[in-house]
Amino acid sequence: EVQLVESGGGLVQAGGSLRLSCAASGFTFDDHAIGWFRQAPGKEREGVSCIASNDVNTSKYYSDSVKGRFTISSDNDKNTVYLQMNSLKPEDTAVYYCAATKGFCSADYNDMDYWGRGTLVTVSS
């Protein structure tokens, strides 16, 4: 069965770093785009980053709010996607979700086919 499992969330001080992991199973990783979304209390779910790759090219997406601070990467052999988050700000506090869709990346959460259950990231000031 299809599964996406996030890990790596926690509490960190402003300016610190966290690395989130998304382990995927039950589908062909290379045929899907994997994205990270986040949702803060009282706010809409927003796309944070996304990656889609094959044996010759890798496409990546970052929202304007995280460009230069977050880095997405993948290990296709392990069916795992990572989100390295540096220079964290209190505004980054949210539940972070891993999601997958067939084809290429989308910043619209409605386009995603599979979802993990989320991992909470809390950034203190």
List, for residues 11-24, the tens digit of each pLDDT value: 999 999 999 999 99
Q: Which amino acid is at 84?
A: Q
Q: Which of 50, 56, 57 lies closest to 108 in space, CA to CA?
A: 50
Looking at the DSSP bridge assignments, the partners of residue 49 are 36, 62
* C-alpha span between 7 and 20 (Å, rounded): 6
How many residues belong to the chain?
125
The 10s digit of each residue's pLDDT in 27-43 is 877 788 999 999 999 99
Check: CB of residue 25 under 8 Å from CB of residue 49.
no
Cα distances (Å, whole numbers) of residue 56 to 9, 53, 59, 73: 31, 8, 10, 15
CA distance 43 to 5: 23
- Judged by DSSP in three states, 91 sits in helix
Question: Is the pLDDT confidence value at 56 over 80?
Answer: no
pLDDT class of 66 with cuts at 50, 70, 90: very high
